[in-house]
Amino acid sequence: MRRPVRIAVTGAAGAISYNLLFKIAAGEMMGKDQPVILQLIEIPDAMNALRGVAMELEDCAYPLLHTITLHDNVEEGFSNCHYALLVGARPRGPGMERRDLMEVNAEIFSRQGKALNDFANRDVKVLVTGNPANTNALIASRNAPDLSPSQFTCLTRLDHNRAKGMLASQCGVTARDIKNIVIWGNHSPTQYPDLHHATVFGQPAMGQIDTSWYRDEFIPRVQQRGSEIINARGLSSAASAAQAIVDQMNNWCLGTEPGEIVSMGILSDGSYGIQKGIFFSFPVRCNYGRYQIVQGLDVGEFSRQKLTATELELLEEKGVVESLLPE
Ligand code: NAX
């Protein structure tokens, strides 16, 4: 049996984690031969609920679950972790403006970035889910000067999976038959779900759908899917978000299928003309624990406008938190 890996999770008593932790412990994220240590982190008020979650994990008697530790602070919780899943964030309260939300979360993610820098394993891989995910990832990475920004990513796999599921349903196929969807940009309603490179049974997806359905129904529906679920369920996406976290980490650590493209929020290196220094969802392939942006995809005029809109929103978000970012 391999040595166990340490996985730290913040917001561990929240709704997403209640779906996520059991998948991790069952081996769905790191593989069926990889034992895990779960380092679960919550705010002090939620520690009792967290103890309940830990009891349930224990009661599943998962063969791969080595140890569970509980923490009310990130400095202890991130200690020596190989993977850090930053799920917890402050939700928007009544009367709270978007700017207020960003500033509150900027404080949380600054502290988490510093704690990762000081206490995590040097090769830690970090996935930020808590919203605003792209900008929170930027804040955390900028506060971790001894780690490479490439060790930080944010979750846009849920958007990718949503787009895949919707296209599959429209074409009457299963998600397995669809490849190479790309989500560009922010995890927000400005994101751009791009089907120009997607295939259905190996054939171009755009040849199998109406352009008007793609532009007027598909794109806004993927962009607004989170709200559609809240309206229907009265609660935000939790099980699908957990699945997306598992998928993104699994691909990052264990690789993507040969030739397949997935979407990940990563620090822009200027590819596709996107300004450097923001976390932006790009098409990537993963191998040997690393991701690489897929280069050379054709970006037409329609796509370029959409990329620019989401890029501008991210630059604006960065502007709001700029004064809180270290040099
Ligand atoms: P919940 O409110 O159910 O759980 C969040 C948990 O985080 C709570 O238990 C809270 O006590 C804890 N928490 C808050 N601040 C913390 C801190 N500083 N340290 C440790 N724990 C802290 O929310 P949930 O539905 O689980 O969603 C979590 C986050 O994911 C939210 O910010 C949400 O907006 C975001 N999402 C992001 C998605 C993405 O694709 N990037 C999709 C799903 C989700 O909406």
pLDDT tens figures, 54-82: 999 999 999 999 999 999 999 999 999 99
ipTM, two decimals, is: 0.99
pTM of the model: 0.98
For the CA of 154, the closest atom of ligand 1 is: 41
**Length of the chain measured in residues:** 327
Mind spelling out the 3-state secondary structure of 37-88? EEEEECCHHHHHHHHHHHHHHHHCCCCCEEEEEEECCHHHHCCCCCEEEECC
Asked whether the predicted pLDDT for residue 149 surpasses 80, the reply is yes
CATH number (domain holding residue 51): 3.40.50.720
Distance in angstroms (rounded) separating the CA atoms of residues 312 and 318: 10
Distance in angstroms (rounded) separating the CA atoms of residues 191 and 196: 15
- Residues 267, 149: one domain? no
- Residues 148, 73: one domain? yes
Residue with tokens 């998928």: 247
Distance in angstroms (rounded) separating the CA atoms of residues 51 and 42: 10
Tell me the pLDDT tens digit for each residue of 283-322: 999 999 999 999 999 999 999 999 999 999 999 999 999 8
Single-letter amino acid, residue 318: K
Residue 188 Cβ contacting ligand 1 at under 6 Å: no
Q: What DSSP line would sit under 129-165, residue for residue?
A: -SSSHHHHHHHHHHT-TTS-GGGEEE--HHHHHHHHH
- Residues 70, 190: one domain? no
Weakest mean pLDDT among 94-98, 108-112, 157-161, 255-259: 94-98
Residue 237 Cβ contacting ligand 1 at under 6 Å: yes
Residue 314 Cβ contacting ligand 1 at under 6 Å: no
- Residues 38, 114: one domain? yes
Q: Hey, which residues are catalytic here?
A: 187
Asked whether residue 323 is assigned to any structural domain, the reply reads no
Domains contained in the chain, number: 2
CATH number (domain holding residue 274): 3.90.110.10
Residue with CA closest to ligand 1 atom 20:
42
Asked whether residue 302 is assigned to any structural domain, the reply reads yes
Distance in angstroms (rounded) separating the CA atoms of residues 285 and 197: 14
- Residues 163, 250: one domain? yes
Final residue in a domain of this structure, among 154, 171, 198 = 154
Domain membership of residue 80 as a residue range: 5-154
- Residues 90, 206: one domain? no
**Which residue from 42, 158, 247, 280 has its CB within 8 A of the most atoms of ligand 1, so it is best to mutate?**
42
